[in-house]
Amino acid sequence: MKVLFLCTGNSCRSIYAEAVFNYLTETRHHAWSAGSHPTGEVNPLTVIWLEKEGIPTRGLASKSWEGLDLAPDVVITVCDDAAGEACPLFFGKAVRVHWGVPDPSKAEGSEAQIEAAFASTFNALRQRIKAMLALPLDELAPEALHDALATIHQTQSRQDGEST
């Protein structure tokens, strides 16, 4: 299964998702990330957080979805609806689902508050990806996969809200 994580800047959230998915998955599944308006660099705090968690960062790069030579099976957008972000729309043939999470690069405040934002986004995506990888991905029909991925987001969003 080929999974594409999309957001606008491709510097934090989609990078997190790509790195975590590839770290946790078996070799027959693989993730990529891209952005509709990539920043051109991975946020340094994203790299620091991934390395702190023991997740490899080699090869991670902020890139546009326009140049990707990839026909994904699943496209997951991670833009934050609550912040009014415009998520990219993927028009290819793929299961499409939305896992909106806050952009930690927009966090303001003390160093501790900014680090907490990066931790929160990382943990939210990691929990969703763990739940996704617990599914029988190779056995689910596209509609069932879509429904399962949407349910993961809804369930995790409620749990995220309870833990704040």
Would you please indicate which residues are annotated as catalytic (active-site) residues?
7, 79, 87
Which value, in Å, is the radius of gyration of the alpha carbons in the chain? Answer: 15
Helix or strand run (H / E) with residue 57? none
Torsion of CA 114, 115, 117, 121, to 10 degrees: 150
DSSP assignment, residue 64? B
Q: Answer whether 3's CB lies under 8 Å from 74's CB.
A: yes
